Structure 1
């Protein structure tokens, strides 16, 4: 007689159960307790582990120390400072108006923790995009399992040390490993999942979450356009585009992915970009201590393939194009004259390659943007307020920077997130706290209210009262 084979236990079930059992203890922590946890994390990042994290990031893809400080550590420390400053008021009940028809009652909104949360973070900004959402989850009073990327293993290991030192595993735990670990974690019925990564993986995350009707925050990517109109200050535009596009070797979800420039300004813009690249990274970026590397061979080969495809389809390399496979080095590269079907114009680049596309009218540029999926970020370089407003009104994007790039991500007062294929939900500051909270509505009846006179059995008098209510109240 055949018998069903025993079901293999999920290797992370025990950890999940510990956090599930402890979730209400953590949920009921007061402001001072949550603040103490945030202070401990802040101290670890600023003091205890800062040099180890800097070294780990360099070991993973030669990220410059200053860039690690500014784009990783400073961003999380800033998130902590902002949360600490506002957390007490975020935790208060938010009172709401009560209509006259509910006379005798009061209403309010209570932000309560969602429960056991999973944060899956990417490799490109591993500290920022792991600990940033963690700050929001702690502030909201959740228990959390972190799953950082295996591609930046040195950094993941140090982050694991930090979590193990600061938190019991029934409160916050970090799990290392590859895609199989993420798959096993996603089988568990988390109360919320926060994922940062590509749209293709985001779809798989959402499918897994649907099995348990788990809410999700998806911070995805896509192709973020940069529109440079004929009134733009090209020297300033080039400086800020180059900084945003080649920061972290272009491996940034909100980096300018391609530039749409008025056809009469294209040559001048390329000239200014070249000047800025030399200023930032010298004539030989491979020797610059300010220029990092592609994270691994897989992504290096993908990017080289994009350049080869560009050449085959008639693209013109205006700047750069050289590479060194041994070092995962790819020079800052500007490419023009690409056909619409070129891979660089169809797929998210996520590397130090910037295509330039020309347009004749601003509406042509807008049409080009709107023919693609809605981006995580859209950038506008212009001195014409009417043009700025026209672009904002006729496009859709998760965020927008005007006469700058990437910096909207750093403002903790602004929500950060995408729209449709570039993401679902928002993070940072209050918006991150809200994302990890259930917004619970509460109505309390204090005295007998007018609704009591409308209970069954129904009669003509109650019908008249209903008619008056519908018409006047």
Structure 2
């Protein structure tokens, strides 16, 4: 799509927003209900698209994509009216007599740029929150998941007029053209590298951004953990979508005394959970397949390691005796390789993690409450789980987002509504009384009164 066409769409959305048509809360809710109906009608086509792009089974597609979207829609349909109300707050005595309140107002024209790894959920979830908040939205799905992008375009075109929600297909050229334009808010999910570019472009227009990025998310297993259960939950989180998950446990940091037991149980769980590799999925494309394959060190593989470039499949793989200097520890893996590192002192382990860039997620398997408190209080990371993996993002009742190098801002549920909302602070001053103490000339009496009011 040419830049001039993109500019034309942006202008039509700005005109639509300025008309006030998105401000009616009942209208927003009706569109969300319509979106839910169409998604339910097209569930089979969504599953088919996700299978073509990523090899996802219908079960995984519903659990991790369509079902998550429907859950967010149900939440927003129930709560948008409450979230959109003005919120009264106390007025200082010095401002007597007045009422004070915060008025939730949409930003305007929003750009949502989404990735390929969960292409349906990570596109439609932020769209839902932006619509609930009263914005118009331009959606730019990834070019790496073309089948899902096509069904997204079909669904959104069916539900919304294009001046309300538009889908821009294409690749790098379209991304660059969009980032040259002025939006009122940008929501980006992707790599930290591209996140830098998005923030740089947004700064030209002083456009606020939410960046959902990634990083090397540690999974700590201490000697007090339930090893058998830990292995089961780690295997689920690590190899879901072939590790192409921004919050997947990137590496395992295990106490030396339980390392061998953990590896044994992880192997048993891989065999149990992935008996049938035909439903295992695939790496998104050859570029990422080659990148992940280069991270495999044959001398350190203790399980798996087989690859097939024709089918873009890499076996669930475990690498032992890994050090911080290994290639697999120099970047976010985003693939089905599980590096095992060990520690003997828990405090040393935590200090090493704190020295690294802040991860998007952190997982701790432990029954030691002191250690749990230490990790949750003192280590900077986006979010995570105690004695589980990944599930912290599967709720509309908590925000999901990163910190530092792993992102800024959050969304889901109420936090998602707030992300796409500016809250105007308003004081409604009454006219029947006008206290003279703020006006010159000042006097000692007024000074005393101000000291009484403001303390």
Following superposition, the deviation at residue 62 of structure 1 comes to 1.1
- Give the SS at the match of 1:264: helix
TM-score (norm 2): 0.97
* 1:466 to partner: Cα distance: 3.6
Equivalent position of 2:404 in the other structure = 420
Once the 2 structures are TM-superposed, how far is the Cα of residue 316 of structure 1 from its aligned partner? 1.4
Match of 2:362 in 1: 378
Is it true that 1:295 corresponds to 2:284 in the alignment?
Answer: yes
Q: State the Cα distance separating 1:460 from its structure 2 match.
A: 4.1
Contact 1:61 1:293 in 2 (8 A): yes
1:235 aligns with 2:235: no
Q: After TM superposition, give the deviation of residue 27 of structure 1 in Å.
A: 5.6
C-alpha distance in structure 2 between counterparts of 1:9 and 1:173, whole Å: 15
Q: Which residue of 2 aligns with 1:174?
A: 167
User: Does the 8 Å contact 1:27/1:112 carry over to 2?
Assistant: no
Tell me the distance in 2 between the aligned counterparts of 1:441 and 1:303.
50
Which residue in the other structure is 2:46 paired with?
A: 53
Please name the residue that 2:441 is paired with. 457
- Equivalent residue, structure 2, for 1:20: 14
- Which residue pairs with 1:437 in the alignment? 421
Contact 2:53–2:146 (8 Å) recurs in 1: yes
CA separation of 1:346 and 1:452: change in aligned 2, threshold 3 A: farther
Instruction: Name the residue aligned to 2:31.
Output: 37
What is aligned with 2:389? 405
Q: How many residues are treated as equivalent by the alignment?
A: 454
| Uncovered stretches (5+) of structure 2, i.e. residues with no partner | none
Secondary structure at the aligned position of 1:242 is classed as helix
Give the match for residue 5 of structure 1. Answer: none
Displacement of 1:295 in angstroms is 0.2
Q: Which one of 288, 293, 298 corresponds to residue 304 of structure 1? A: 293
Q: Deviation string for 1:28-51 (max 9, x for gaps)?
A: 53232111111111111112x111
Name the SS of the counterpart of 2:4 in structure 1.
coil
The separation in 2 between residues aligned to 1:105 and 1:85, in whole angstroms, is 32
Q: CA deviation at 1:103?
A: 1.5
CA distance in 2, matches of 1:326, 1:359: 38
TM-score (norm 1): 0.93
Paired position in structure 1 for 2:373: 389
Supply the distance in 2 between the matched residues of 1:185 and 1:273 (Cα, whole angstroms). Answer: 44
How far off is 1:412 after superposition? 0.8
Going from structure 1 to structure 2, the CA distance change for 1:463 and 1:242 (only over 3 Å counts) comes to: same
- 2:253 is the counterpart of 1:264: no
Maintained 8 Å contact 1:101/1:450: no
**Shift in Å, 1:225:** 0.6
Report the counterpart of residue 205 of structure 1 in structure 2. 198
SS of 1:327 mapped into structure 2: coil
Alpha-carbon deviation of 1:72?
A: 0.6
Show the 5 A alignment for 1:140-159.
140-159=133-152
Q: Shift of residue 462 of structure 1?
A: 3.2
- Deviation of 1:449 after TM superposition, in Å, equals 5.7
Q: Which residue pairs with 2:272 in the alignment? A: 279
- Supply the RMSD in Å over aligned alpha carbons: 1.5
SS in 1 for 2:123: helix
**Contact between 1:102 and 1:450, CA under 8 Å: does it hold in 2?**
no
Report if the CA contact (8 A) 2:225-2:366 is conserved.
yes
User: Quick check: 1:105–1:449 contact (8 Å CA) kept in 2?
Assistant: no
- Unaligned residue ranges in structure 1 (runs of 5+): 1-7
Alpha-carbon distance, 1:457 to partner: 2.6
